[in-house]
Amino acid sequence: MSTNLKTSLLQPISSLSAKEARTIRYVLMDIDDTLTTDGKLSAESYAALWKLHEAGLMVIPTTGRPAGWCDLIAREWPVDGVVGENGAFVFWEGEGHRLAMLTHPNAIPNSDRRLVALRDQVLARIPSARLARDQFSRLYDIAIDFAEEEPVLPLSTAQKIKELFEQGGAHAKISSIHVNAWFGEYDKLSMTIHYLTERFGYDDAHDAASVVFVGDSPNDEPMFAHFPMACGVVNLLTYRELVAHLPHFVTSGRSGSGFSEFAQVLLDRRAS
């Protein structure tokens, strides 16, 4: 199902052509360690979002972050929607400042008994693991923190947590800070396609080159695999062993600096 026709990977973002840049209509990006740097949303990175928005591009963060955060993002950031909890839903600000929400048809609330039992098993078997502090504002998934707060646990522990959830039949993905787990068939990619199609008339069979996605970690892999114009910020290479599908482009800067670099190249090429 991949429409990724590009065979060369990790090309410098500076090689983006004017023609490719002008074809782009939707700019999607991960948040943690793509927009943010060491946990902070820099002025540079936030300004890049505004510049993309003011250039008329559709700006859509796609994140593992919870519903509680997505309410704020949809209302306060210069965005045309935010895909949250790894694809369980999209929030956007509609007419009259009303918060609109599209939930993936396969999303299952995180009060699901199987998921709660698995959460307890994981926490019992891996004593250094802990629930993410944003768990209280989640609707559909469980997030286990391994790197947002100290002590930072090794990636091998994150892998182990992921495997325990998967052995219990759940989906699990590793971001740069959390392991997220859920029941229900969806991910960032399937929700993104569903939203773009329903809201903007996007046709995935023909329009994939109108989407660019920027990300940094293994939970972004479905997006890297599908969108031919996908771009990694350079810190993605930390997870190289865990990512089978690398993006076509890569930035030279890490995290927020890399995202700003990407935005500047895109806007420059469109103007050239």
Based on the shown chain and the rule CB under 5 A, indicate whether residue 145 belongs to the binding site for Mg ion: no
Least distance between Mg ion and beta carbon 177 (Å): 7
CA–centroid distance for 12 within its chain: 21
Residues in the chain: 272
Based on the shown chain and the rule CB under 5 A, indicate whether residue 33 belongs to the binding site for Mg ion: yes
Least distance between Mg ion and beta carbon 236 (Å): 9
CA distance 208 to 4: 9
Based on the shown chain and the rule CB under 5 A, indicate whether residue 176 belongs to the binding site for Mg ion: yes
Least distance between Mg ion and beta carbon 124 (Å): 27
In the list 20, 80, 141, 216, the residue contacting Mg ion (rule: CB under 5 A) is: 216
Least distance between Mg ion and beta carbon 125 (Å): 25
| Distance in angstroms between the alpha carbons of the first and the last residue of the chain | 33
Amino acid identity of 245? H
Least distance between Mg ion and beta carbon 34 (Å): 5
Tell me, by CB under 5 A, how many residues bind Mg ion.
Answer: 7
Contact window for Mg ion (CB under 5 A) among 77-85, 131-139, 213-221, 226-234:
213-221
CA distance 88 to 90: 7
Least distance between Mg ion and beta carbon 176 (Å): 4
In the list 217, 235, 255, 260, the residue contacting Mg ion (rule: CB under 5 A) is: 217
Query: Among residues 36 and 202, whose Cβ is nearest to Mg ion?
Result: 36
CA distance 95 to 67: 20
* Cα Rg of the chain (Å, integer): 18
Query: Among residues 46 and 200, whose Cβ is nearest to Mg ion?
Result: 46
Based on the shown chain and the rule CB under 5 A, indicate whether residue 260 belongs to the binding site for Mg ion: no
Cβ neighbours of residue 104 closer than 8 Å, sequence gap 6 or more: 87, 88, 89, 184, 186, 190, 191, 194
Binding site for Mg ion (CB under 5 A): 30, 32-33, 175-176, 216-217
